[in-house]
Chains A and B, each alone.
Chain A
Amino acid sequence: MGRYRKSIQYIILAAVLLVGGYAIANSLFSKSVVLTKGDKPPSFRLAGLDNEVHELQDYEGKPLILNFWGTFCPPCRDEMPALQKQYDKWKGEGLELVGINLSEDKLTVESFIRQVGVSFPILMDKDKKTEKKYGLKQYPTTFFITPKGVIQEVVIGGLLSEEEIEVRVQRLMKS
């Protein structure tokens, strides 16, 4: 028995450290998802209004603006034209802009998009799944993602003007 005493001590203490460390770390870091600068955006796989499947990976290597919006949210509706204008201006430089609709009916979304004249891809979230993955609290929320696939900025709520979008696009282009 005596010969193994030391190793048994070490094994037990190591096991305690492992199990206990895991449990404590879990309780320390099990907070709800809040995405901030430097985080990797969670992946998604959604149907677009163009009847194609869109994935986050499709946009890798390009600067990407991810805009969560709904027709029920006035600021979302109001900033749509500004987003479209900036998209037209920068898409030649490689900018990608994707609007993710907040789980509304396709008909409602299509009719609004037609009215505004949006040409960037609009994806349909289902049962608020993607919205929850991204930990959304307010609408609209816009993620500015670098070509390396890292979030550079999250703009929560509010109405983005063309200038505000442009400054951020330029920053994205530089990174």
Chain B
Amino acid sequence: MFQNTKCECGHQNPVGTVLCESCGKPLLEELLTDESAPLEMRYDGVARRSQKANPHIVDRIWNFFSSVKIAVYLIAITLVGACLGTIFQQENTLINMTERSEFAAFYKEQHGTFGVIYHALGLSRTYESWWFVLLLVMIGTSLVICSLDRVLPLYRALSKQQIRKHLQFITRQQVVYNGTVEGDQEAWLTELGKQLKRKHYRVYQEKGALLAEKNRFSRWGPYINHIGLIIFLLAVLGRSIPAWHMDKYLTLYEGETRQIPDTNYYVKNENFTVDYYTDDELANNQKGTKVVKLYETEARLYECTDACDDPMKEPVLTEVKHHNIRVNSALSYKGLKLYQNSYQERVRFISVKPSLINSATGKSLGTFELSMDHPAEKLEVGSYKLTLSDYYPDFSLDDKSQPMTKTREPNNPAFVIRVNGPNIQAAGELYIYFAMPSEKSKYYEKIINESFKQRGDNTGLFTIKVENPIVDGKMNNITYSEYSTYLNIRVDKAMPYIWFGAAISMIGLIMGFYWQHRRIWLRFDDHSLSLGGHTNKNSFGLRADVAWALGKTGIEVEPKSLDNRRNVR
């Protein structure tokens, strides 16, 4: 289609121009048929930047993203997609599971058939799915291209405005006044300009014409908002850079030190405490129930300073931070944050301090310590040497009735100890010792020690047991952890950029919302005065400005009568 884009004023306009860039005359056919209808002033009638008569394939892609209609569809689809992710719990909130099969089982159990479908469709990972990320990328692209295609022509149009506009441009504005001015027109225009200046307008005047304008900067608000949103989106996408983002969970029993995966840091759960509300503090219907008041992990953060990757040595740790981690009070160190997530009441052995006892006299020969993790293999008790010859953290018998450990956890620890020393058989005496003071464990202990005796491995000379296991109602000579704490370990290097983007976006929104770009054009044709005014919002305020300025220069007019918009709007 051939379109003549040259205006009668001689200006050559780009394809798609609605109002002549120079004089403001309407150029589109449909705008010329009804000469009294208010003009569409969007983007000051300039053409979108990349509109072309013969678009190339790259131009077509560009134009696709340049369309606001497409942007609205994209946002709508993204919103619907985001809603789908809220139907059921997302996978990343299920901290104890890692396998696909575990997740599948969870959704099936919790939500039945619909849960199975939900998981199979990948909706249990909505926000990490390729299609959701694709939508975000497309919105980002649309933001950049839409803004660029509009802001540049608009900037150009607003920075080189003609003062004397086409008559039709003026008379078809939303705020219009037509009248006559007797006497010196130039003097009257100057006076009107002065009055408008008092209302903070910038006034440009030439022979028989005037342009007054204020708060042009508010037009840049939406674009600044978009820049903020782009920074925000890029920062969110930046989380996929491995070093930028970590969100892991670590379980620690009391006294345990563990490395934070993929870092040089170690964390120790020094102590974990839970406080419950007393009955006085609880409502009537809650009395007698255990309601948690506070739980906290006394944590120490260490940095490895030496032998970090040497498997032969224990890493050398230096404490860098000590903090009591509570809900909403995280341990924070150089961008690494440790949050209290939850806890579990679970007894776990740490160490036990049994005594070597002379079976005949019942007298203790001394105590020694057995740790559940890497127990010392050689110990000395008085004049006796103890050697640990085997250790089963979770004692059990295999199908050949051989002792084995059932798991890696010290749930039922058993130690095989050889005692050497004065006045006992040369090979020493062999005993098994169960740390768990349960009936079953002690039964096993007895049976196995007796079989050792029958084999001649011991003579029953010694007994190994904890003396005074209970003092004042508390376990004595046994250390154990009552609670395991769950810490959430996070690194989010994108966060400052997210805040920065959000702040820029807010500045843009405020600029656009709280100020309006108001312009008033005047021209004289002989004695007849034509005034047109335009604002991007709050037309009422603009009419008040115009009526006030006209009133000061001798033309009394009702603000309401200046409204040129038809009732259909």
Could you list which residues of chain A lie within 8 angstroms of chain B, going by C-beta atoms? 1, 5, 8-10, 12-13, 16, 19-20, 22-24, 26-28, 30, 32, 45-47, 51, 53, 70-72, 74, 77, 102-108, 111, 124, 126-127, 129, 132, 137
Contacts and interface: CB of A to CB of B under 8 A. Distances in A.
B371 to A, nearest CB: 10
Interface of B: 49-50, 58-59, 61-62, 98-99, 128-130, 132-134, 136-138, 140-141, 144-145, 148, 152, 156, 234, 237, 240, 258-259, 261, 309-312, 373-375, 377, 388-394, 398-399, 404-408
Contacts of B258: 127
Contacts of B408: 70, 72, 102-104
Looking at A5, A23, A24, the one whose CB has the most chain B CB atoms below 10 A away is A23
Contacts of A26: 133, 240
Nearest to B234: A19
B410 to A, nearest CB: 9
Contacts of A129: 261
Contacts of A74: 398-399, 404
Contacts of B404: 71-72, 74, 77
A73 B133 CA distance: 42
A27 B391 contact: no
A27 B98 CA distance: 17
Contacts of B145: 12
Contact of A111 (B62, B312, B389): B389
A interface majority secondary structure: helix
B309 A23 contact: no
B interface majority secondary structure: mixed
Given A16-B141, A20-B141, A27-B133, A5 B398 contact: no
B309 A27 contact: no
Given A9-B58, A16-B141, A107 B377 contact: yes
Given A12-B145, A74-B398, 19 more contacts: A9-B59, A16-B141, A16-B144, A19-B137, A20-B133, A20-B138, A22-B240, A30-B240, A45-B311, A47-B312, A51-B312, A105-B375, A106-B374, A107-B377, A111-B390, A126-B311, A127-B259, A129-B261, A137-B99
Contact of A107 (B128, B388, B398, B406): B388
A16 B137 contact: yes
B232 to A, nearest CB: 14
Contact of A72 (B99, B133, B405): B405
A156 to B, nearest CB: 13
27 contacts: A1-B152, A1-B156, A5-B49, A5-B50, A9-B62, A12-B145, A16-B137, A19-B237, A20-B140, A22-B237, A23-B237, A27-B129, A46-B311, A53-B311, A53-B312, A71-B404, A72-B404, A74-B398, A103-B408, A105-B373, A107-B375, A107-B377, A107-B388, A108-B391, A108-B393, A124-B311, A126-B311
A19 B50 CA distance: 23
A105 B393 contact: yes
Contacts of A137: 99
A20 B311 CA distance: 41
A126 B315 CA distance: 12
Contacts of B310: 53
A12 B391 contact: no
B50 A9 contact: yes
A129 B140 CA distance: 39
Nearest to A111: B390
Contacts of B140: 16, 20
Nearest to A103: B408
Nearest to B313: A47
A72 B405 CA distance: 5
Contacts of B388: 107
A30 B129 CA distance: 10
A23 B238 CA distance: 8
A127 B50 CA distance: 59
A156 B35 CA distance: 82
A51 B313 CA distance: 11
Contact of A28 (B130, B137, B374, B398): B130
Contacts of B50: 5, 9
Contact of B58 (A13, A30, A72, A102): A13
Contacts of B138: 20
Contacts of B311: 45-47, 53, 124, 126
Looking at A53, A72, A104, A137, the one whose CB has the most chain B CB atoms below 10 A away is A72
Contacts of B261: 129, 132
A57 to B, nearest CB: 14
A24 B133 contact: yes
Contacts of B130: 24, 27-28
B58 A23 contact: no
